[in-house]
Amino acid sequence: MAAFLTRFKSGFQRLLERPSTVDLKKYQEVLTSIEWREERVAKLTDEELTEAAAELRAKSTKGFDAHGSVELCALGREAARRALDQRPYDMQLVGALELLLGRVVEMGTGEGKTLAGALAAAGYALQGRSVHVMSVNDYLARRDAEWMRPVYELLGVSVGWVDQESSPEDRRAAYARDVTYGAVSEIGFDVLRDRLGTDPDELVQPAPDVALIDEADSVLVDEARVPLVMAGSTDEGHGDPEVAQVVRTLRPGQHYERDEDNRNAWLTSRGAKLVEKALGDIDLYSGDHSDRLAAVNAALHAQALLQRDVDYIVRDGKVHLINTSRGRIALLQRWPDGLQAAVEAKERLAPTESGEVLDSISVQGLVGRYQRVCGMTGTAQAVAEQLREFYELKVSVIPPNKPCVREDEADRIYDTVEAKEAALVKEIVAQHETGRPILVGTMDVAESERIAEKLTAAGVESVVLNAKNDAEEAAIVAEAGALDAVTVSTQMAGRGTDIRLGGAEGDETDHDKVAELGGLYVMGCGHYPSSRLDNQLRGRSGRQGDPGGSVVFASLTDDLTTQYAPDATAGAEPDDDGRYQDVTSRRYVEHAQKVAEGVNLDIHRNTWRYTRLIEHQRAIVLAYRDDVLRTDLAAKQLAERLPELWEKLGKDVDEDVLERVARQVVLFHIDTRWAQHLAFLSDVRETIHLRALARETPIDEFHRAAIAEFRGLLKGITDLAVETVEEAEITAAGIDLETAGLRRPTSTWTYLVHDNPFDSDAEQALQRVRASLRKVKAAKASS
């Protein structure tokens, strides 16, 4: 009964906290006061406006009262009008005020999220707080910082940004500003680099305070399963060209098999014999050749499961992974455990540097460091439950300034991918003849180039935007609304760039011509694994009350449908073009997407359950490390453990030198032991499924192993430090770390790696369903 009441209470609470449109009645009086105050602010000179903001800062160290909120919005609205020639709409001010309450606000495409976010960031800064505005990439971070800088300056707020090109000095200066813009990965990498600092002066980041997250659903949900990793260089990768050459000769169905999800591949007995003979008549499965077996498995995975121009591209002689949620290159992202080297060997490229993991941080861990978190996006409602569960964030939906009049058509479902693409191209040709601009959303690089080739063959020139030319994405997307434009884009590349009817350089006449044609027409070449991504694509059209349209072309043989609804069958026969008009076919596609969403949510939830303990252990280690870094704790501990030796050293070595030596030694062992602990946990995670087969609960077994291994870790660090001091030569100049065996990596590098080592309950259930369906189909076929 108690359990039932708990579940009922939890469910009722979630019902109460479901996102809803902000009640504008409570803001009506505030908006009226802002407008009244705005008339007076408009009479101020620029200097007087900045002085008024300084007065607000002096009064608002404990937050804004009602008067402070009105003053901020009035000053901010006037600053934006003068600096950008944009007067923020009432809804932008409401969005800014909701951000100041710590909400994730949903504002539609073209509703001015960037400016609303800047006003909120300025509001936090005027309360004396430090703000990090996190974006999805370097381009948007720098663009928004430079774009909003004049507004900030009029309000007396300093602003900076960090990107991949920033030097340590640039980073330190940027983080010293009131507001700092940066990609979530770049800010996370700075956290990791600071964690390895051996001198307080080396650190670049101040204590975290406020995180304002742009495209919050992408950052907090799509990126949440991609840990940021700091590695120390060890040697070159170990891709095996000989193994890669052998695996290239293998044929599916004969030498290896793949599961229906294309997530696993394995050698058949015939394939194993072929490989063993080609590698010198070895026994792959004996303990003597375990390294070769691992290399073969990695090479087979690279060959059979990873497709060039889908999962990765090759550019400038290097393998670049493709971000599956945005269709652009995943900067600094790699595959783990020899797979990166195997792909490089597959592509006949030189292996890149490998290394050992020194530390990592998840998006949850990164965001959890901040005292206040808020964010904005165009599609928050769909992930409201995840934002509440993982981040304790509530969603506020801001009404549009003008109603959306975009026409979203019903899906067009076809029997095969070929029929779908033929119909898509035919529709593009028909719409293009009228001059109406078209934006086509594809699943991957290969598909985008295939559609573009078919359009060229049909006499339609298009601009292709994918991971191969993502550097030009903003300029390409900005022109997608121009008359006669046909833009083919992978996923959501270019997200964050406004698409104006008539093009970025077009005038009012161009806008009106395109509007008369129905506005931007968005066509999806299939459904994404999340309805939210579909809505993001649709949202590129119909900005600020503009006309527009959208439609999705899908088929029953799309990857999404075959993977998540393998039993999908049409409810009627297709027409001559291969199109299904029945409701059943459409429902199967919708069902596949819902299953995919459920699986991804469960994976996110499961991964977070495992990382929470690691984050807790990391917090304990970091607190200890920070004390060692900033105080004389290390020297006190060593003096307590080695009183006679420490006293003897003190006669010949200055006290500050001894403190520095103690700090260097203890910091080295902290970093080394933590890296070893992470390696141990990684090994546990890789074998955790074996415990599940033994009817043990994986999460409980993982916690049991992790807690036991962590117990005594801090004491072990001190023991190692004592051993080092006893054996090392310490002089008046200090200690030679390398001679003492304390060799730090010659270089460090950062990367992202997809991390889903655990099969979710939903995925396991799905696999059981698929297995059952396969048996049923096989039985029918044999009968």
pLDDT at position 763 over 50: no
Q: Residue 103 — very low, low, confident or very high, per pLDDT cuts 50/70/90?
A: very high
Q: Which pLDDT score, from 0 to 100, does residue 761 have? A: 43
Which of the pair, 163 or 327, is modelled with greater confidence? Answer: 163
Instruction: Identify the three-state secondary structure at position 644.
Output: helix
Q: Find out whether 77 and 93 touch, Cβ atoms under 8 Å.
A: yes
Write the pLDDT tens digit of every residue in 395-438: 999 999 889 999 999 999 999 999 999 999 999 999 999 999 99
Instruction: Identify the three-state secondary structure at position 491.
Output: coil
Instruction: Identify the three-state secondary structure at position 214.
Output: strand
> How far is it, in rounded angstroms, from Cα 469 to Cα 328?
9
What mean pLDDT comes out for the span 344-349? Answer: 90
CB atoms within 10 A of CB 127: 20
Burial tier of 385 (Cβ tally within 10 Å: 0-12, 13-18, 19+): middle
What mean pLDDT comes out for the span 2-31? Answer: 63
> How far is it, in rounded angstroms, from Cα 125 to Cα 158?
9
Name the amino acid, one letter, at 492: M
Which has the closest alpha carbon to 408: 253, 552, 292, 306? 552
Q: Residue 327 — very low, low, confident or very high, per pLDDT cuts 50/70/90?
A: low
Q: Residue 57 — very low, low, confident or very high, per pLDDT cuts 50/70/90?
A: very high
pLDDT at position 466 over 50: yes
Residue 363 φ/ψ, nearest 5 degrees: -60, -40
Q: What is the pTM of this model?
A: 0.85
Burial tier of 572 (Cβ tally within 10 Å: 0-12, 13-18, 19+): exposed
Question: First and final CA of the chain: distance in angstroms?
Answer: 50
What mean pLDDT comes out for the span 285-292? Answer: 75
Cα dihedral 163/169/172/174 (nearest 10):
-50
CB atoms within 10 A of CB 776: 11
Instruction: Identify the three-state secondary structure at position 85.
Output: coil
Q: Which helix (H) or strand (E) holds 232?
A: strand 228-236
Which of the pair, 418 or 494, is modelled with greater confidence? Answer: 418
pLDDT at position 263 over 90: no
Choose the weakest-confidence range: 173-177, 369-373, 571-575, 616-620. 571-575
Q: Which helix (H) or strand (E) holds 234?
A: strand 228-236
Burial tier of 766 (Cβ tally within 10 Å: 0-12, 13-18, 19+): buried
What mean pLDDT comes out for the span 578-605? Answer: 90
What mean pLDDT comes out for the span 311-329? Answer: 77
Q: Produce one character per residue of 638-675: b if its CB has 16 or more CB atoms within 10 Å, e if not.
A: bbeebeeebeebeeebeeebbbbbbbbbbbbbbbbbbb
Q: Residue 764 — very low, low, confident or very high, per pLDDT cuts 50/70/90?
A: very low
Q: Find out whether 675 and 357 touch, Cβ atoms under 8 Å.
A: yes
pLDDT at position 762 over 60: no
Residue 123 φ/ψ, nearest 5 degrees: -60, -45
pLDDT at position 362 over 70: yes
> How far is it, in rounded angstroms, from Cα 224 to Cα 393?
15
Tell me the sheet residues that pair with 228.
361, 752
518 CB-near residues (< 8 Å, 6+ apart): 407, 436, 547, 548, 549
Which of the pair, 733 or 238, is modelled with greater confidence? Answer: 733
Q: Which pLDDT score, from 0 to 100, does residue 768 have? A: 44
Q: Find out whether 578 and 423 touch, Cβ atoms under 8 Å.
A: yes
Residue 487 tokens, joined: 């833009």
Q: Which pLDDT score, from 0 to 100, does residue 331 have? A: 64
pLDDT at position 42 over 70: yes
Write the pLDDT tens digit of every residue in 495-513: 567 788 998 777 889 999 9
Residues listed for the chain: 783
E-only strand ranges, 49-206: 104-106, 131-135, 159-162, 179-183
Long-range contacts of 531-535 (CB under 8 A, 24+ apart): 531/382, 531/593, 531/597, 532/217, 532/379, 532/382, 532/383, 533/325, 533/491, 533/492, 535/378, 535/379, 535/382
E-only strand ranges, 565-686: 579-580
